[in-house]
Structure 1
Amino acid sequence: MSAPGERPIYILMISMHGLIRSENLELGRDADTGGQITYVVELARALSKHPLVEKVDLLTRRIDDDSLPLDYSIPEEQLEHNARIIRLPCGPKRYLRKESLWPHLDQMVDQCLHFLRNQGGRLPDLLHTHYADAGYVGQQLSLLLGIPQVHTGHSLGHPKRERLLASGRKAATIERQFNFERRIAAEESVLEHASMIITSTQQEIDEQYSLYRHFDHQRFRVIPPGTNTTRFSPPGRRKISQELQESIDRFFSAPDKPLILTICRPEVRKNLKGLIAAFGESEELQQQANLLIIAGTRDDIRDLEESQQQVMQELLLDIDRYDLWGKVAIPKHVSQEDIPELYRLAARRRGVFVNAALTEPFGLTLIEAAASGLPFVAPDDGGPRDIVHNCRSGLLANTLDSSAIADALKEVLADKKRWRTWAKNGLAGIKRHYNWPAHVNTYMKQVRHVLRRDRKRWRRQLVITLDSGKSYMPLVNSALISDIDNTLLGDKRSLRQLVSWLKEHKGKFAFGIATGRPIDSAVAILKQWQVPIPEVLISSVGSEIHYGARLIPDTGWANHIRHKWRREALQEAMKDFPGLTLQAAENQREFKLSYIVDPGKMLPIEEINRRLRDQQLFAQLIYSHNEFLDLLPIRASKGHAIRYLAYKWGVPVRHFLVAGDSGNDHEMLVGDTLGVVVGNHSEELDKLRGMEQVYFAQGQYAAGILEGIAHYHFDEIKPIPVGER
Structure 2
Amino acid sequence: MARNEWINGYLEAILDAGSTKKDAHWISDANSLFSPTKYFVEEVVNRFDETDLHRTWIKVIATRNSRERNNRLENMCWRIWHLARKKKQIAWEDAQRLAKRRIEREEGRKDASEDLSELSEGEKEKGDSNQTEPHKEKMLRHNSVLQMWSDENKSKHLYIVLIRLIYTFGHQVKYVVELARALAKTKGVYRVDLLTRQISSPDVDSSYGEPIEMLSSPSDIDSHAEGDGCGAYIIRLPCGAPNRYIPKESLWPHIPEFVDQALTHIVNMARVIGDQVEGGKPIWPYVIHGHYADAGETLILGNRDDIEDMSNTSSVVLTTVLKLIDKYDLYGQVAYPKHHKQSDVPEIYRLAAKTKGVFINPALVEPFGLTLIEASAYGLPTVATKNGGPVDIHKALSNGLLVDPHDQKAIADALLKLVAEKGLWLECRKNGLKNIHRFSWPEHCRNYLSHIEHCTDSHSRARLEIVPQRVEEPMSDSLKDVEDLSLRFSIDGEFKVNGDLDPVSRQKELIDTLTHHHSITSSGNAGISNYSPGKRQRFFVIAVDCYDANGDVSNDAFSMIIKPILAAASDPAGKTGVLISTGSTLAETMEALRSSQLEPSDFDALICRSGSEMYYPWRDMVADMDYSAHVEYRWPSDHVRSTVARLAGLEGESDGNDIAEYVVACSSHCYTYKVNKPGAKARKTDELRQKLRMRGFRCNLVYSCAATRLNVVPLFASRAQALRYLSVRWGIDLSKMVVFVGEKGDTDYEDLLVGLHKSVILTGSVENGSEALLRSAEIYKREDTVPQDSPNIVLVKEGFGTSDITLALNSILGS
Which TM-score tier does this pair reach, normalised by the shorter chain?
0.5 to 0.7
Q: 1:576 corresponds to which letter in structure 2?
A: R
User: Alignment partner for residue 372 of structure 2, among 357, 360, 366?
Assistant: 366
Match of 1:105 in 2: 255
Whether 2:382 is the aligned partner of 1:376: answer yes
User: Alignment partner for residue 588 of structure 1, among 655, 661, 666?
Assistant: 666
Structure 1 portions without partners, runs of 5+? 19-31, 134-153, 161-263, 267-293, 719-725
Q: Describe how 1:355-504 pairs up with structure 2 within 5 A.
A: 355-379=361-385, 382-384=388-390, 387-388=393-394, 390-396=396-402, 399-400=405-406, 402=408, 405-406=411-412, 408-414=414-420, 419-420=425-426, 422-431=428-437, 433-454=438-459, 457-461=461-465, 463=467, 465=469, 467-468=473-474, 469=529, 471-486=531-546, 490=557, 496-504=563-571
Whether 2:165 is the aligned partner of 1:16: answer yes
User: Alignment partner for residue 84 of structure 1, among 224, 233, 248?
Assistant: 233
Whether 2:721 is the aligned partner of 1:640: answer yes
TM superposition shift of 1:47: 2.0
Distance 1:105 1:525 in 2: 35
Q: 1:588 corresponds to which letter in structure 2?
A: C
TM superposition shift of 1:540: 2.2
Distance 1:74 1:112 in 2: 16
Whether 2:182 is the aligned partner of 1:46: answer yes
TM superposition shift of 1:46: 2.2
TM superposition shift of 1:371: 0.9
Distance 1:441 1:4 in 2: 11
Match of 2:50 in 1: none
Distance 1:574 1:398 in 2: 40
Match of 1:538 in 2: 607
Could you list the per-position Cα deviations for residues 421-463 of structure 1 after superposition, in whole angstroms to 9, with x for gaps in the alignment? 54333311313x33232222222222222233346x4233254
Q: 1:450 to 1:606 in 2, by over 3 A?
A: same
Q: 1:46·1:437 contact (CA, 8 Å) conserved in 2?
A: yes
Q: 1:406 to 1:559 in 2, by over 3 A?
A: closer
Q: 2:254·2:787 contact (CA, 8 Å) conserved in 1?
A: no
User: Alignment partner for residue 519 of structure 1, among 586, 590, 595?
Assistant: 586
Match of 1:265 in 2: 298
Q: 1:698 to 1:301 in 2, by over 3 A?
A: farther
> SS at the partner of 2:557?
coil
User: Alignment partner for residue 344 of structure 1, among 314, 327, 350?
Assistant: 350
Match of 1:620 in 2: 700
Distance 1:708 1:358 in 2: 55
Q: 1:563 to 1:501 in 2, by over 3 A?
A: same
Distance 1:79 1:696 in 2: 40
Whether 2:716 is the aligned partner of 1:710: answer no
Q: 1:518 to 1:627 in 2, by over 3 A?
A: closer
Q: 2:192 corresponds to which letter in structure 1?
A: V
Match of 1:528 in 2: 595
Q: 1:613 to 1:352 in 2, by over 3 A?
A: closer
Whether 2:788 is the aligned partner of 1:690: answer yes
Q: 1:627 corresponds to which letter in structure 2?
A: T
Q: 1:352 to 1:480 in 2, by over 3 A?
A: same
Whether 2:755 is the aligned partner of 1:671: answer yes
Name the one with the larger helix percent: 2
> SS at the partner of 1:537?
strand
Match of 2:682 in 1: 602
User: Alignment partner for residue 621 of structure 2, among 541, 547, 551?
Assistant: 551
Q: 1:357·1:399 contact (CA, 8 Å) conserved in 2?
A: yes
Q: 1:10·1:54 contact (CA, 8 Å) conserved in 2?
A: yes
Q: 1:642 to 1:386 in 2, by over 3 A?
A: closer
Q: 1:71 corresponds to which letter in structure 2?
A: S
TM superposition shift of 1:372: 0.9
Q: 1:353·1:374 contact (CA, 8 Å) conserved in 2?
A: yes
User: Alignment partner for residue 60 of structure 1, among 175, 189, 196?
Assistant: 196
Q: 1:426 corresponds to which letter in structure 2?
A: G
Distance 1:415 1:553 in 2: 72
Q: 1:561·1:636 contact (CA, 8 Å) conserved in 2?
A: yes
Could you list the per-position Cα deviations for residues 628-673 of structure 1 after superposition, in whole angstroms to 9, with x for gaps in the alignment? 2112122111100001111112212122111123123332221112
Q: 1:541·1:638 contact (CA, 8 Å) conserved in 2?
A: yes
Q: Describe how 1:245-264 pairs up with structure 2 within 5 A.
A: none
Larger Rg belongs to: 2
Which region of structure 1 is more displaced relative to structure 2, 336-345 or 642-651? 336-345
Distance 1:4 1:324 in 2: 56
Q: 1:642·1:668 contact (CA, 8 Å) conserved in 2?
A: no
> SS at the partner of 1:594?
strand
Could you list the per-position Cα deviations for residues 48-67 of structure 1 after superposition, in whole angstroms to 9, with x for gaps in the alignment? 22212222212122222202
TM superposition shift of 1:385: 5.1
Q: 2:457 corresponds to which letter in structure 1?
A: R
User: In angstroms, what is the RMSD of aligned CA positions?
Assistant: 3.6
Q: 1:265·1:296 contact (CA, 8 Å) conserved in 2?
A: no
> SS at the partner of 1:17?
coil
